[in-house]
Amino acid sequence: MEKILAVAALALFLCRPAVATTARELRELRGSAFKAYQGKDWPAFFEAQKRVVQAARIPRELYQLACAAALAGDKSAALRALEDFADQDTFLDAANDGDLASLRGEPRYEKALRRIAYSRAARGTTPTAAELPRADLVVEDLARSGQDWFLSSVRKRAIFKLSRGSLIELARTPWAALGMALEPATNTLWVTTAALDEEEDHDKADQGRSAILEIDAATGAVKARHDSPAKGALADLRVFDGAAYASDGFGGGVYRVTSKGFEKLSDDFASPQTPAMHGGELLVPDYTLGLAVLDLGTRKVRWLEAPKGFPLTGIDGTALAGDDLYIVQNGLDPVRVVKLTLDRRNRIVKAALVQKGGDLPDPTHAVIHDGALWFIARSGWQGFGKNGFQPGPPPLLKRVPLR
């Protein structure tokens, strides 16, 4: 791919250990660390945060470990943890963090700060494919059928069709329209919809409700509706072999949905996002934990090891092309799009940066179509603020040819 920058063939010994706990257990560990922090019991905070990092060696927890060690007076451990965080190629404002004040003036600290600051540099560019004619939608996902694009609108509670440059409303949804996937055999759009504060005319009485709709992509008619059995927010989904695989980013559940109803596959996650299927296993990104493999037979969850410099937290959208998994990470600073190459055992063997920062203000989801990666680079989510919603530039789609 012409626009891909840094490719690294990565031996496993260069990778960070995987998450070694469930979301529930990690919440308990984090709770203990936070309680010690609130009580200003710095030795207890340091010990508790070490247990958190043993369970989940992810960027934010490494950073918190540096803070805990510094507050506890262990400069050596604090510097090691801060250097480990600097290896992650993501930004937190360490230079202005009072918890790290005891490290100021240390050469290793100053060097780590320079590396952390450099992580904010934009890298790579990707071609613009289309700009939508409306700026008030807040677009979450996209799908393609023939010459038409379908786009889900969070704010307008609707699915829109982009056809020959014209944008028309195809179907209304009960609440915010979120994840979307096309089933080509039946020309059916599977759509998740959830009651969110960001939707227009939000009714607080609906909070916690969500559903999956089957919509005729030609007419917009709703062919079936599957209401979630649990309180939360079904947000992301993909369709494989006639079944929808959906994640509840609030409740933590991962489901398989068919005409027979919902089947919970796992609740080992904190905030599962857009799944993908590779080698008969379900790849499930967790926004706060990383990327996991869910065995559909045993229901066991195995967390993938993160290549050095390629953290796996903050993933929202995914798109699979052969053995290459493209991930959209809007939970890291800067946001980025990355290509991960998987082997037959679903281990990451290569990682490549497609684009980081630059003209990617708030990317969300991606699909593979006609030999290219298409993704939403500017969705409109940044329009939400303290004063409600203020539309900015219209949503932007990008297209990157595959190689």
Residue-wise pLDDT for 342-364, tens only, equals: 999 999 999 999 999 999 999 99
Domains of the chain and any CATH numbers? 23-120 (1.25.40.10), 128-401 (2.120.10.30)
Token pair in block for residue 315: 């993933």
Q: Are 47 and 80 in contact (CB under 8 A)?
A: no
CA dihedral 258, 260, 266, 271 (to 10 degrees): 60
| pLDDT tens by residue, 78-94 | 999 999 999 999 999 99
Residue 370 CB-density burial (10 A; 0-12 exposed, 13-18 middle, 19+ buried): exposed
User: In this structure, are residues 271 and 253 in contact, taking their beta carbons and an 8 Å threshold?
Assistant: no
pLDDT reported for residue 264? 97
pLDDT lower than 50: segments of the chain: 1-17
| Integer Cα distance of 281 and 216 in angstroms | 28
Nearest CA-CA partner of 279 in 323, 327, 242: 323
> In this predicted structure, what is the pLDDT of residue 12?
33
How does pLDDT run across 380-398, given as a tens digit for each residue? 999 999 889 999 999 999 9
| 246 vs 239: CA distance, rounded Å | 9
Q: What is the pLDDT of residue 314?
A: 97
- The burial of 9, by beta-carbon neighbours within 10 Å (0-12 exposed, 13-18 middle, 19 or more buried), is given as exposed
Task: Please tell me the predicted confidence (pLDDT) of residue 18.
Answer: 58
Residue 302 has a pLDDT of: 94
* Residue 99 backbone dihedrals phi, psi, to 5 degrees: -65, -20
For residue 126, the model assigns a pLDDT of: 96
User: Would you state the pLDDT for residue 387?
Assistant: 87
Give the per-residue pLDDT at 342. 98
CA distance 280 to 240: 10
pLDDT for position 3: 32
Residue 132: its pLDDT value, please?
96
